[in-house]
Amino acid sequence: MIQPKPEITNITPTYHGAFDYDELRQLGYSPDEVIDFSVNSNPYGPPPGVREAIARVPLDRYPDRECIALREKLAAQHHVEIENIVVGNGTAELLLLIALTFLHPGDHVIIPDVTFSEYERVASIAGAAVQSLTWTPENGHSFFDPQVQMRDAAARFAGVRLVFLCNPNNPDGTHLPASWIIEHWLAKHPETLFVIDEAYANFLLEPESAIEQMPPNLLAVRSLTKDYALAGLRLGYAVAHPEIIEAVCRVRPAWNVNGLAQAAGLAVLDQDCWLRETVHQLHDDKRQLVTGLRSLGLEPLPSSVHYFLVNVGDGAAFRTKLLKHKIMVRDCASFGLPEYVRIATRTPEDNAKLLAAVEMIRA
């Protein structure tokens, strides 16, 4: 029997937030009746006009392979050229393409941990040697204090081909200023490619991006899936110098972004005001939710975005109990944080249901 490549054999399945449809089927739940706090998308979306835009897409015609119209709009938004942008079937596809484009077997990759599991998976698929940059309280720093913890990290980047950094980070929502990362990391290691995942940058109250400075060793990835609640379509893009983008495009499958996603992207990019208003609303909603959780004896960790971690003692048990009330949170055992759950703020109505369910399970 033919065997896969050895580097593939060692790759274990990754665990993510969002519905596990098989689990819902086994519980006899329809996805419509479960409130999902495990996915960090904008709960107010999709914005008006998206459904109408996708309804007009001809289904019998191939989409634009080059996503020209979408790249033009994205380029205008970021004050760059379309040659600086590649669009993907979600950010997750771009992460894989980036790994396949830039990593040779054995290359050293650094991933600050704990973080989104896809970085390690895609680097392993490319055969790279992954080193986690992990901090523990024994290092003398508190666990969730990235700026302190990362100050010394740059010394470890010598000889490293690629660094993945999630900013703001998943799962804890901590954020490092882009100018700080560029000054302390990118400028000091021009030979290393820094892939900065800004999937949640738009959820900051005052969004900022490494793209504004665009050093030559930056590859920024962004997700429209999260900002505009397009998880059923998926849409992401990467921004970098044209030589980097051109290389990724050589690996990219033809027609990788379907016509519905492109139409949705064009529709949402006219909705910047909607995005800023809903993000401000979400931060207000988060404050109320955090207050409610505190009144039930829980202590959410500080975060810069709408999702946050909460130590509940046994994250898996907490999730299972809430699921009986048709509420899903993200158990963080797969991040190596079994005591924690991650909760993404939703609308006040949904948040009230979460608080009521938490009160019942802790009674």
Ligand X SMILES: Cc1ncc(COP(=O)(O)O)c(C=O)c1O
Q: Does 36 engage in binding with ligand X (CB under 6 A)?
A: no
Return d(Cα 315, Cα 331) in angstroms, integer: 5
Binding string, 191-210, against ligand X, x = CB under 6 A? Answer: ------x-x-----------
Closest separation between CB of residue 39 and ligand X, Å? 7
What is the number of the residue whose Cβ is closest to ligand X?
A: 90
127: number of Cβ within 10 Å: 17
Segment contacting ligand X by CB under 6 A, of 19-27, 66-74, 87-95, 340-348: 87-95
Find the binder of ligand X among 43, 45, 46, 90 (CB under 6 A). Answer: 90
Tokens of 94: 């771009």
Segment contacting ligand X by CB under 6 A, of 85-93, 185-193, 268-276, 352-360: 85-93
Q: Does 225 engage in binding with ligand X (CB under 6 A)?
A: yes
Cis amide bond preceding 168, omega within 30? yes
Q: Does 170 engage in binding with ligand X (CB under 6 A)?
A: yes
Contacts 24+ apart (CB under 8 A), 47-51: 47/228, 47/267, 47/268, 47/271, 47/274, 47/275, 48/271, 48/274, 49/267, 49/270, 49/271, 50/228, 50/230, 50/264, 50/267, 50/268
Return d(Cα 32, Cα 115) in angstroms, integer: 29
339: number of Cβ within 10 Å: 14
Closest separation between CB of residue 350 and ligand X, Å? 19
Closest separation between CB of residue 134 and ligand X, Å? 18
Q: Which is nearer to ligand X, 37 or 292 (CB)?
A: 37
Closest separation between CB of residue 239 and ligand X, Å? 14
DSSP 12: P
Return d(Cα 7, Cα 285) in angstroms, integer: 44
Q: Does 217 engage in binding with ligand X (CB under 6 A)?
A: no
Closest separation between CB of residue 168 and ligand X, Å? 9
Q: List the interface residues with ligand X, window 100-159 (CB under 6 A).
A: 116
Closest by CA position to 123, among listed 163, 155, 84? 163
Q: Does 38 engage in binding with ligand X (CB under 6 A)?
A: no
DSSP 167: S
Q: Does 223 engage in binding with ligand X (CB under 6 A)?
A: yes
Q: Which is nearer to ligand X, 170 or 271 (CB)?
A: 170
Find the binder of ligand X among 45, 46, 47, 236 (CB under 6 A). Answer: 236
Closest by CA position to 78, among listed 90, 66, 89, 70? 70
Find the binder of ligand X among 166, 238, 264, 282 (CB under 6 A). Answer: 166
Q: Does 91 engage in binding with ligand X (CB under 6 A)?
A: yes
| CB-CB contact of 207 with 275 (8 Å) | no
Footprint of ligand X (CB under 6 A): 90-92, 116, 166, 170, 197, 199, 223, 225, 234, 236
